[in-house]
């Protein structure tokens, strides 16, 4: 199950960290509003230019045919409603110092779910962009999510977990042009994952830190760069006892080194391509806590290719492919994940917009002994939505999501369909 790979439609580019999904786009002004996807609590969108305050609210009805993401024989369905208010603040837009902050709340009620019928979610985002000169800029951001079915899984399988699960992601980047077209990017990223439910807490509670240094050289429409990253991941969950195994999460703690080269090219005024490739080594320095289950180290390639095409006013295609290592919710070291993704945003008319999304990823599990090592999983995520502007500040929407996990590990495969219809307003 792809738990912590980069998000489907905001993969980390050359400025990002491997785990926290920190990208150029993420560092720009971002305002939080609750989204419509079945796989998360919140999405991110830009506020209307010139607005200091913005208040949003939406009401949706939905149908979920497998809200527990269980195998078919255990799947349970339910109708429900979702309420999503939010508030955003933007200061200094267009100046040397831009600040934005946003808070979004989500409540999802299931009409026919045993026990707990309600899920709650909170998301808080803050960003600061400081331009010291034409050649020097500092970018800071922090995002906090607390939810029961959150996107804290960061692009992985839509998985409902009991309790108030938390993810906090901080990112800092300083970019300086030294002379002509030559300069440096210095970055720092931190992510904290905290799961309340005992099983996932044992396997996925961790803190992640990363520092990076990129050197770039620009030439007309093309920028070349090379970089190095060091990261440290500390798994902090309690020892987990499962049938036939006592699993110590601390054995998964690691240090990682990565070197890479890349290029960013403006094909024309509407097409931007970015390709990065390198090698990453992960050292599991406490592997002897779980001999035979956790490898001593792993070396693997890293690839991130992304293209953005603004083919018409209000219409854009984003597509890409990634290859990287990521955490897993199984009793194993990690997994190597290869994925392809695409998102189409199309302006059908002045009032009607459509969105199509798709992601396919294949993962090979590393470690965990004979029961897990080398096992493969494939994940397919598809989505479509249609939005109609009823008035300047009122919109209606219908959306559909399909999720499918096919796993070699017994009792993990599932399918899920999620349909929603809603209305919202922005003031």
Q: pTM above the 0.75 mark?
A: yes
Between 26 and 212, the more confident residue is 212
- Average pLDDT score, the chain: 83
Does any domain span residue 12? no
User: CA separation (Å) from 269 to 15, 220, 273, 308, 313?
Assistant: 22, 13, 11, 11, 13
**Domain-embedded: residue 8:** no
Strand 222-235 relative to strand 254-268, pairing: antiparallel
Q: Is residue 375 part of a domain?
A: yes
Q: How confident is the model at residue 48 (pLDDT cuts 50, 70, 90)?
A: low
For residue 191, pLDDT beyond 70: yes
Domain-embedded: residue 15: no
Q: Under 8 Å CB-to-CB from 359, ≥6 apart: which residues?
A: 8, 9, 155, 339, 340, 341, 342, 379, 380, 381
Contacts of 240 (CB under 8 A, 6+ apart): 199, 202, 203, 246, 247, 248, 249, 331
Instruction: Indicate whether 19 belongs to any domain.
Output: no
Query: What is the pLDDT at residue 149?
Result: 60
Query: For residue 418, what are the domain limits?
Result: 24-426
Domain for residue 223, yes or no?
yes
Q: How many domains are there within the chain? A: 1
pLDDT at residue 50, rounded to an integer: 62
Q: What is the CATH number of the domain that holds 65?
A: 2.40.160
| Banded pLDDT at 331 (limits 50, 70, 90) | confident
> Residue 272: CB partners within 8 Å, gap ≥ 6?
264, 265, 266, 307, 308
- Taking each continuous run of H as one helix and of E as one strand, the counts in the chain are 2, 22
* 292-303 per-position pLDDT tens digit: 889 899 999 999
| Span 312-329, pLDDT tens digits | 999 999 999 999 888 787
- pLDDT tens for 253-283 read 999 999 999 999 998 889 999 999 999 999 9
pLDDT in tens, 214-223: 999 987 789 9
**283 touches 255 (CB < 8 A):** yes
Residue 9 lies in a domain: no
């Amino acid at each position: 199950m792809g738990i912590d790979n980069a998000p489907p439609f905001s993969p980390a580019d050359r400025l990002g960290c491997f785990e926290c999904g920190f990208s150029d786009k993420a560092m720009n002004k971002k305002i939080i509003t609750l989204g419509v996807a079945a796989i998360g609590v919140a999405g991110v969108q830009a506020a209307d230019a010139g607005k200091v305050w913005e208040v949003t609210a939406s009401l949706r009805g939905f149908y979920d045919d497998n809200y527990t993401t269980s195998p078919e024989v255990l799947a349970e369905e339910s109708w429900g409603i979702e309420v999503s208010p939010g508030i955003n603040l933007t200061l200094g837009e267009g100046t040397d110092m831009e600040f934005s902050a946003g808070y979004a709340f989500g409540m999802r009620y299931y009409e026919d779910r045993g026990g707990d019928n309600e899920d709650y979610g909170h998301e808080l985002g803050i960003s600061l962009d400081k331009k010291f000169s034409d050649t020097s800029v500092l970018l800071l951001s922090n995002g906090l999510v607390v939810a029961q079915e959150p996107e804290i899984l960061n692009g992985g399988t839509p998985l409902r977990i009991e309790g108030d699960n938390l993810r906090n992601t901080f990112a800092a980047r300083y970019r300086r042009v030294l002379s002509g077209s030559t300069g440096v990017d210095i970055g720092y990223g931190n992510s904290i994952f905290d799961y309340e439910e005992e099983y996932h807490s044992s396997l996925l509670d961790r803190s992640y830190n990363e520092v990076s240094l990129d050197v770039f050289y620009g030439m007309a429409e093309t920028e070349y760069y090379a970089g190095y990253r060091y990261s440290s991941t500390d798994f902090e969950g309690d020892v987990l006892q499962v049938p036939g195994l006592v699993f110590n999460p601390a054995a998964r703690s690691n240090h990682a080194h990565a070197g890479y080269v890349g290029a960013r090219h403006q094909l024309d005024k509407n097409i931007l391509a970015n390709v990065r490739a390198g090698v990453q080594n992960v050292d599991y320095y406490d592997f002897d806590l779980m001999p035979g289950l956790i490898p001593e180290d792993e070396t693997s390639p890293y690839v991130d290719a992304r293209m953005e095409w603004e083919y018409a006013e209000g219409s854009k295609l984003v597509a890409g492919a990634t290859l990287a290592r990521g955490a897993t919710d199984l009793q194993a070291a990690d997994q190597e994940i290869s994925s392809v993704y695409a998102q189409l945003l199309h302006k059908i008319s002045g009032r009607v917009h459509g969105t199509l999304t798709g992601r396919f990823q294949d993962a090979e599990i590393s470690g965990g002994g004979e029961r897990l090592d080398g096992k493969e999983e494939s994940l397919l995520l598809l989505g479509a939505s249609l939005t109609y502007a009823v008035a300047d500040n009122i919109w209606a929407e219908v959306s559909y999501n399909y999720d499918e996990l096919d796993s070699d590990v017994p009792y993990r495969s599932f399918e899920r369909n999620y349909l929603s219809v809603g209305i919202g307003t922005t003031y």
